[in-house]
Structure 1
Amino acid sequence: MTTRHRKRRIARTLGCAIAALSTLCASAVASETPKPGGVLEIATLYRTLPTLSWDPADWGWKTNHDTGQMFEQLFAADLTKAKRLGGPHAFYADAWLPSDAIRGELAERWEWKQNPLRLEVTLRDGVRFPEKPGVMAARDLVADDVVYAYNRLLQSPKKTAGYYDYLEKVQATGPKTVVFTFKKFNSEWDYRFGYGYYSGIYPKEVVEAGITDWKKLNGTGPFMLTDFVQGNAATYTRNPDYWGSATIGGQTVKLPLLDKVVFRNIRDLSTANTALRQGKIDMLESVRWSDVEPLKKSAPQLQWARWLSMSGQFLAMRMDTKPFDDVRVRRALNMAVNKQEIIDAYYGGQAELFSHPQHPDYTGYYEPLDKMPDSVRELYVYDPARAKKLLAEAGYPNGFSFKVQVCACNPDHMELLPLVAAYLEQVGVRLDIQPMEYGSFLATILAKTHAPGLFSSTPHSNPTTTLRTNFLPGQQANTAIYRDPDFDRRLAEAYGEQDEPKRQAMIKALTREIVDKAPYIWLPTPYVFTAWWPWVKNYGGELRAGANRPGPIYARIWIDQEMKKKMGY
């Protein structure tokens, strides 16, 4: 047995033991008696990025992360189905909730009706916007608030093209009833207007007062934004009028349990690790694989969760630029990179070979590599001789050179790209690497003026969005400038298929096809770790209760202040 196989067997055995232990511990965790109070100091997944916008109509991918403590949505994750409680879901996917893991948040119930196809949503009673001096008096949430927030998104000049084209209209048919009338079925309906990146519900009064001013924000959520220092911290304080409750430890408790949640912006990796180790923050949601063992040694009481990154890594090759209009070149560059060696040597085994564009968390949509056609599997096998042969057949026997842009804000990419370049150089392909700061990097992508090569990562989002955003014309993440009208048509058909097993089969076929055509150099996906101190209670590594939205998770956490004090913090 090789060392690699031995390590894998040990890892599998350890994984099974951990899974069994988690099941045994689930009842103990669930039975812990809540002790409301405390302040959660946290460096979130996006600790390096300050708030980009408070306004959902700006269509910013991060807005929901920053406003999701105040702006609630129609739907959210059913956190009672978390793995730590014996359920099936980890709740770390960036923008996907399985159909059996959705609960109504502002929606009390919803029902499909026909002729015309429509969704009737009944809002909860007792949900209120608290008083906000200078902005609004306290009042109940009504259906007109949902319609207003939706129409404002629809009319925004920044909206994603086609995002709501399947809807005919949205209207309030009663004080608590909202009706979404469809032109045609869209399988992402729940994600797009129910728990998505931009679907937070806020009152008209906030917009009129100035929604870009954090001091004017107001929502129905468990927390209120009470302090904000750009690039430093955002402080969310308990909303005493919050409507929500949860059953924890066998008893029903009023939410939120915490007094405050403080998001700390910490740009430097070592500074974040030090803050965690010294107990200056209670939780660090994203820990790099290389920092895990040092932290375990210096702070052995820390609790840990491991999760496979929800962003696929790749080197995009512009297919509207020579030589990348030739599939032989693109396939050659994939074969020239030793991806398994990257996993073993660079990531120390903490990565997966095949998890993009579909993520293994997408049960029913994801197919493992060993189920893929031979033409797909060979892209993941290191074969420089075959790569040279394909390059020669394409007219590049001596290779070529091209520029690759990369964001200097991503330390993993800055380290990984030179390694990829070294592999490609062995087959005569030379990279001119151009690091860029985040703003310029993003602007270049949006304008589609980026170089022939772009080293990046993009969120999976969900099983259909991952194909739409990466490979449809005009989409922001389509950095390979991929164009195929037949692919576009078939993806549209998949969106319109109401039968999920049939839709899953359609998505699998499209995924096999896109991987085979190699618009990217497909690279391994790393594991990421979350660490927290044991005084953080009712938590097990959950990260998102909707699209990049952690608010409902934090609302159910409490700090065991006695334990924290006894541990010397």
Structure 2
Amino acid sequence: MKLARLLATSLLVTALADAAVAKDTVTLGQVLEPPHLDPTAGAAAAIDEIVYANVFEGLTRIAADGSVQPQLATSWEVSPDGLAWTFHLKQGVTFHDGTGFDSTDVKFSLERALAEDSVNAQKGLFEPIAAVETPDPATVVIRLKRPTGLLPWNLAWGDAVIVAPESAETNRTRPVGTGPFQFTEWRQGDRLVLSRREGADVALAQVTFRFIADPAAATAALMAEDVDGYLNFPAPEALPQFEADPRFAVVIGTTEGETLLAINNRRQPLDDVRVRRAIGHAIDRQALIDGAMMGYGQPIGSHFSPSHPAYVDLTSRSAHDPELARRLLAEAGVGDLKLTIKLPPPSYARRSGEIIQAQLAEVGIQAELVPVEWAQWLEQVFANKDYDLTIVSHTEPLDIGIYARDDYYFNYRNPDFQALMARIEGTADEAERNTLYGQAQEMLAADAVNGFLFELPKQGVWNARLEGMWANAPIQATDLTGVRWAE
């Protein structure tokens, strides 16, 4: 009997010890697996969702409230003419491989992004930079071709994180940054593991990302507690089930994700604005939100987040009007139009595709749905522009400037829009800049560049004991630096 009591006590102590260990690890579900892990060399949001602020850091960062905060730079100032920005750097910082961080790493990273052979997906963010100077190891001076009031914001993107010359070429598979978590393991098709670096001031010792895209499988994994949460849960129809379960917190927030029926503006007959407008009028946004998103999401009429103070509601410009859509197609001389819609894996895209296919059919447009994997989408649609239509959510912050890029996959080229974006970049006054943003939204709506659908909601579901999870997503990130288990 005494031996049994001792054994029971031992097992209890072991169980309590195991529970204590479990409190500093977390397993999160993620819909998309990244194609690689270098945020400076890829457009996939799934890269930043794992490594932003966790593995890699920039001079600045975007915080949970959407504000720009210091990160590797402690402070900065701009010259009176707006052409020179001086950044003062943290000292004593090292990369995960032990190499030191200083101003030469900043110079290397920015010049690498600017290089002629750069593969940075947001190369345009760096175009205003004329030169990067390093007067001493703790100071960087960025000289500009023209005043760019948004420079601290631009440097807060994942595409602008600082990398080291010693490890830059292998960051795709073994990322080495200055962040509080370091890369441990990647079992492709299954999971990716990050571990707390020695001395890092974060509560979690280990983070595991499980790649589960299927909505039913995601629901089952959460219910079984095989994963502790999803920051972007792919099954909105299951949210009431989790809301009724006290084990979970369900938090519906906002994102920067403008969900589009993207249009190849250079492919006939989509190069005719009347055809693009017809597509816009064929879409019933509310029916789409109700059917594909279970009522979650806000309609948009241009490429801009409704949470931004410069947002203009332009949904009336492309209001659901099948008769007008048919008339516009007739005016354009288009009959029996057949198009393809390439659909990446996220459930919002696949489900929206089925509804939009039916809505287009009502106005005489036959749309074939072509499901593609994420790597295929990046190659065929984003890189090679081989598509008619596609559905995707652009989750980068304040990214309306992508429409000013001649080589962007929309194939939209408008010199007036490019000139307007140049004015915005050079405007330091926020109120004036917001007015110009409104004009930019108007221009995109008038040109019907894309079918503007809805702002992707952030549907978070996680263990109710987890603290510090972001309610909103001002940037595409799963920032775990402030996450901890409640005692």
Secondary structure of the 1:390 match is helix
CA distance in 1, matches of 2:133, 2:468: 39
Distance apart, 1:533 and its partner CA:
1.0
- The partner residue of 1:527 within 457, 460, 463 is 457
Aligned pairs for 1:44-55 (under 5 A) are 47-55=30-38
What is the letter of the counterpart of residue 453 of structure 2? Answer: L
In structure 2, list runs of 5 or more residues that go unmatched: 1-20
The answer to which of 312-321 and 279-288 deviates more is 312-321
Partner residue in 1 for 2:61? 76
Q: Which amino acid aligns with 1:532?
A: W
Per-residue deviation, residues 256-282 of structure 1 (Å, max 9, x unmatched):
111211112223322222221122222
**Given the superposition, is the C-alpha separation of residues 512 and 529 from structure 1 closer, same or farther in structure 2, using an over 3 Å criterion?**
same
Percentage of pairs with the same residue: 22
CA deviation string 1:12-41 (max 9, x = no partner): xxxxxxxxxxxxxxxxxxxxxxx9951011
Alignment match, 1:442: 378
> CA offset at residue 514 of structure 1?
1.2
Q: Give 1:497 deviation, angstroms.
A: 1.6
Structure 2 equivalent of residue 472 of structure 1: 405
Do structure 1's residue 377 and structure 2's residue 362 form an aligned pair?
no
Conservation of the 8 A alpha-carbon contact between 1:117 and 1:183: yes
Matching residue of 1:222: 180
CA distance in structure 1 between the aligned counterparts of 2:27 and 2:80, rounded to whole angstroms: 48
Would the alpha carbon gap of residues 366 and 198 (structure 1) be closer, same or farther in structure 2, given more than 3 Å must change?
same
Contact 2:148 2:426 in 1 (8 A): yes
SS at match of 1:524: strand
Kindly indicate whether residue 229 of structure 2 is the aligned counterpart of residue 279 of structure 1.
no
Tell me the residue number matched to 1:135: none
How has the CA–CA distance of structure 1 residues 323 and 227 changed in structure 2, closer, same or farther, with 3 Å as cutoff?
Answer: closer
The secondary structure found in structure 2 opposite 1:427 is: coil
The 2-side partners of 1:223 and 1:266 are apart by: 22
Report how far residue 141 of structure 1 moved: 2.6
Equivalent residue letter for 1:205:
E
Tell me the TM-score normalised to structure 2 length.
0.86
Quick one: which amino acid aligns to residue 430 of structure 1?
A: Q
| 1:501 and 2:423 are equivalent in the alignment | no
Q: Does structure 2 conserve the Cα–Cα contact (< 8 Å) formed by 1:539 and 1:557?
A: yes
Q: Any conservation in 2 of the 1:305–1:540 contact (CA below 8 Å)?
A: no
Cα separation, 2, equivalents of 1:285 and 1:413: 18
Alignment pair present for 1:418 and 2:404: no
Q: AA paired with 1:377?
A: S
Code of the aligned partner of 1:52: P
1:149 to 92, 109, 119: 109
Query: Is the Cα contact below 8 Å between 1:70 and 1:219 reproduced in 2?
Result: yes
Is the 2:131–2:143 contact (alpha carbons within 8 Å) kept by the matching residues of 1?
yes
Q: Which amino acid aligns with 1:548?
A: Q
CA–CA distance in 2 between the matches of 1:233 and 1:494?
41
1:206–1:378 CA distance, 2 compared to 1 (3 A): closer
Of residues 121, 127, 132, the one that matches 2:93 is: 127
1:387 aligns with 2:387: no
Q: Say if 2:261 is the partner of 1:315.
A: yes
Greater shift in the superposed pair: 257-266 or 302-311: 302-311
Query: Following the alignment from structure 2 to structure 1, what is the Cα–Cα distance between the partners of residues 316 and 368?
Result: 29
1:386 maps to a residue whose letter is L
Distance (whole Å) between structure 2 residues aligned to residue 112 and residue 541 of structure 1: 33
- Counterpart of 2:397, as a letter, is N
CA distance in 2, matches of 1:310, 1:441: 21
- Count of residues paired in the alignment: 462
Residues 1:348 and 1:64: Cα distance change in structure 2 (over 3 Å)? closer
1:491/1:236 Cα in 2 relative to 1: closer, same or farther (>3 Å)? same
Question: For 1:505 and 1:543, how far apart are their aligned partners in 2?
Answer: 24
Aligned partners of 1:449, 1:227: CA distance in 2, in Å? 33
**Paired residue for 2:73, among 93, 107, 110?**
107
Deviation at 1:471, TM superposition (A): 5.4
Q: Answer whether contact 2:36 2:172 (CA < 8 A) is retained.
A: yes
What is residue 198 of structure 1 aligned with on the other side?
159
Aligned pair 1:556/2:479, yes or no?
A: no
Contact 1:296–1:302 under 8 Å retained in 2 = yes
What is the CA–CA distance in structure 1 between the aligned matches of 2:395 and 2:179, rounded to whole Å? 27
Q: Is the 8 A contact 1:37 1:259 kept in 2?
A: no
2:249 to 299, 303, 323: 303
**Cα displacement (A) at 1:56:** 4.3
**Structure-2 residue corresponding to 1:26:** none
Aligned residues of 2:326 and 2:363 also touching (Cα < 8 A): yes
Aligned amino acid, residue 368 of structure 1: D
1:117 Cα deviation after fit: 1.8
Task: Show the counterpart of 1:186.
Answer: 148
Match of 1:109, SS state, is: strand
Q: CA RMSD in A?
A: 2.8
Paired residue secondary structure (1:205): coil
Deviations 1:219-273 (A, max 9, x none): 332122223322222222222223xxxxxxxxxxxx2111211112223322222
Contact kept? 1:304, 1:541, Cα under 8 Å: no
**Aligned residue identity for 1:289:** P
Letter in 1 for 2:31: T
How many angstroms apart in 2 are the aligned matches of 1:525 and 1:70?
A: 28
Where do 1:257-406 residues align within 5 Å?
257-287=203-233, 288-297=235-244, 299-354=245-300, 356-363=302-309, 365-369=310-314, 377-380=316-319, 382-396=320-334, 399-406=335-342
Distance 1:426 1:504, change over 3 A: same
Alpha-carbon displacement from aligned partner over 1:389-438 (angstroms, at most 9, x marks no partner): 33333334xx3222223225233322322322222222222223333333
Q: 1:484: Cα distance to partner?
A: 1.7
Q: 1:184 to 1:234 in 2, by over 3 A?
A: same
Residue identity in the other structure for 1:334? G
Q: Which amino acid aligns with 1:383?
A: D
| Cα distance between partner residues in 2 of 1:116 and 1:354 | 34
Q: 1:141 aligns to what SS in structure 2?
A: coil
Output the amino acid matched with 2:270. Answer: F
Q: 1:167 aligns with which of 126, 129, 135?
A: 129
Selected match of 1:238 from 196, 200, 203: 196
1:14-93 paired onto structure 2 within 5 Å: 38-43=24-29, 47-62=30-45, 63-68=47-52, 69-79=54-64, 89=65
Give the structure-1-normalised TM-score.
Answer: 0.74
Cα drift, residue 541 of structure 1: 2.3
AA partner of residue 219 (structure 2): N
SS at match of 1:497: coil
Q: Match of 2:394?
A: 459
- Whether the aligned pair in 2 keeps the contact of 1:226 and 1:236 (CA below 8 Å) is yes
State yes or no: 1:431 paired with 2:367.
yes
- Partners of 1:323 and 1:329 within 8 A in 2: yes
1:335-372 Cα distance to aligned partner (Å, 9 max, x none) = 23333333345544222222641111212x10234xxx
CA distance in 1, matches of 2:452, 2:168: 43
Distance 1:148 1:524 in 2: 39
Q: Give the whole-Å Cα distance in 2 for the aligned partners of 1:353 and 1:116.
A: 37
SS of aligned partner of 1:201: coil
Q: Is the 8 A contact 1:51 1:230 kept in 2?
A: no
Query: Which residue of structure 2 lines up, in the alignment, with residue 22 of structure 1?
Result: none
SS state at 2:157 partner: coil
Partner of 1:539: 469
C-alpha deviations, 1:295-320, integer Å up to 9, x for none? 334x3331121124533233334333
Query: Residue 184 of structure 1: CA displacement?
Result: 0.8
Distance 1:226 1:403 in 2: 44
